[in-house]
């Protein structure tokens, strides 16, 4: 693999994703008061792209909110410290949104190539709208691509370098025993299969109580899915057509379906069936028994559940 060309490809998709999110926000699909700060040239995406990005955003936020709302036996305060680890975070603005909503976790850590984190650190430092959400005492280095504060960390790393990845997690002050939500949105597809397997193996061994969230052009029976079967206690995967139809609330679907004229149903179905949301669980603290798609509504169709105890050995 050409490391330089790979980095450039990933960075290009980051810019494209930010522009697509802004397109959704401008059309009223979702609220994000920060994404416009990361987009140089706003573009208007087609209705099918807008709807697809909305479905992706809605799935992540619903599962993330389930995680953040989970409580355990945390003593008299009744508040369990949680942390979020975003792999290949790019210009994602979820942390700032959670701050506005009063839902930010104890620690939020974002990782990406230095070329990306340097740009994001620069924007955070120069934009008071962003900087004020981090901390007035945050340490920001444009050259190093680092932002260090008590509850938010932005750090550079090549995810393929597992020893370095482990060092960065230590530098960020993450506690592997705390409940952790790990985000990997369109990240592993840019890595070779061995690197993807190494990352899954590392997360499964490092974080004993964790949700690994994946949005990808991927299927649960490929190499990555099989690695989740081997390494994690429970894994579930739904394609995005099922996520949109059965997991996004009906009233939200009705709302966004009125935003733009839409007649690309055949293409929509085909496109959404080629993306999926998968999540895998380690649950040493016994917190996530009710987590996931089936916690959404009264009775849902059974998802594709990958369970090591019932699957044939790969």
What is the residue-wise DSSP string for 52-95? HHHHHHHHHHHHHHHHHH------TT-----EEEEET-TT--HH
Structure tokens at 81: 């410290």
Q: Are 199 and 280 in contact (CB under 8 A)?
A: no
Please tell me whether residue 280 adopts helix, strand or coil conformation: strand
Structure tokens at 63: 């599962």
| Average pLDDT of every residue of the chain | 86
pLDDT attached to residue 181: 98
pLDDT attached to residue 117: 96
Tell me the C-alpha distance between 178 and 62, whole Å. Answer: 21
pLDDT attached to residue 207: 97
CA dihedral 282, 239, 101, 14 (to 10 degrees): 100
Closest CA to 68 of 93, 103, 101: 103
DSSP 310: T
Q: What is the pLDDT of residues 114-141, one digit of tens each?
A: 999 999 999 999 999 999 999 878 999 9
What is the residue-wise DSSP string for 134-186? H-TT-EEETTTTEEE-SSEEEEE--TT-HHHHHHHHHHTT--TTS-EEEEEES
pLDDT attached to residue 73: 63
Reported pTM: 0.86
CATH number assigned to the domain with residue range 58-71+82-285+299-306, chosen from the 4 options 3.40.50.150, 3.40.50.720, 1.10.238.10, 3.40.50.300: 3.40.50.150
Q: Residue 299: which pLDDT band, with cuts at 50, 70 and 90?
A: very low
User: Exposed, middle or buried by CB within 10 Å (0-12, 13-18, 19+), for 219?
Assistant: middle
Beta-bridged to residue 152, according to DSSP, are 108
**Residue in the block written with tokens 């993450």:** 174
Tell me the C-alpha distance between 30 and 97, whole Å. Answer: 11
Domain range annotation of the chain: 58-71+82-285+299-306
Query: How is the beta sheet containing 152-156 ordered, strand by strand?
Result: 139-141, 146-148, 152-156, 107-112, 83-87, 180-185, 209-216, 276-283, 234-239, 304-306
Nearest 5 degrees, angle CA 66-CA 69-CA 72? 115
Q: Are 38 and 14 in contact (CB under 8 A)?
A: no
Q: What is the pLDDT of residues 189-207, one digit of tens each?
A: 888 889 999 999 999 999 9
Q: What is the pLDDT of residues 16-67, one digit of tens each?
A: 889 999 999 999 999 999 999 999 888 999 999 999 999 999 999 999 999 9
pLDDT attached to residue 137: 83
Structure tokens at 31: 């609220």
Q: What is the pLDDT of residues 213-260, one digit of tens each?
A: 999 875 555 565 566 556 656 888 898 999 999 999 999 999 999 999
């Amino acid at each position: 693999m050409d490391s330089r060309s790979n980095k450039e490809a990933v960075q290009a998709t980051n810019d494209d994703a930010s522009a697509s999110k802004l397109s959704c926000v401008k059309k009223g699909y979702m609220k994000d008061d920060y994404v416009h700060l990361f987009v140089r040239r706003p573009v208007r995406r087609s209705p099918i792209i807008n709807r697809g990005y909305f479905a992706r955003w809605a799935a992540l936020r619903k599962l993330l909110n389930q995680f953040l709302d989970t409580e355990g036996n945390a003593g008299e305060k009744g508040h369990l410290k949680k942390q979020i680890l975003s792999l290949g975070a790019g210009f994602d603005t979820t942390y700032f949104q959670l701050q506005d909503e009063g839902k930010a976790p104890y620690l939020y850590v974002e990782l990406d190539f230095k070329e990306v984190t340097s740009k994001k650190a620069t924007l955070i430092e120069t934009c008071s709208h962003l900087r004020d959400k981090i901390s007035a005492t945050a340490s920001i280095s444009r050259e190093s691509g680092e932002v260090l504060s008590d509850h938010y960390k932005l750090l550079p790393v090549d995810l393929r370098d597992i020893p370095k990845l482990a060092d960065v997690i230590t530098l960020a002050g993450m506690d592997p025993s705390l409940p952790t939500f790990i985000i990997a949105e369109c990240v592993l597809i840019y890595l070779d299969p061995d690197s993807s397997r190494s990352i899954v193996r590392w997360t499964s061994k490092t974080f004993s109580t964790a949700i690994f969230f994946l949005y990808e052009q991927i299927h649960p029976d490929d190499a990555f899915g099989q690695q989740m079967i081997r390494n994690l206690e429970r894994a579930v995967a739904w394609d995005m057509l099922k996520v949109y139809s059965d997991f996004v609330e009906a009233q939200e679907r009705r709302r966004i379906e009125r935003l733009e004229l839409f007649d690309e149903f055949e293409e929509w179905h085909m496109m959404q069936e080629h993306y999926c949301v998968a999540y895998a669980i380690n649950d040493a603290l016994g917190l996530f028994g009710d987590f996931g798609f089936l916690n959404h509504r009264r009775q849902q169709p059974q998802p594709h559940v990958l369970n090591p105890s019932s699957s044939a050995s790969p």
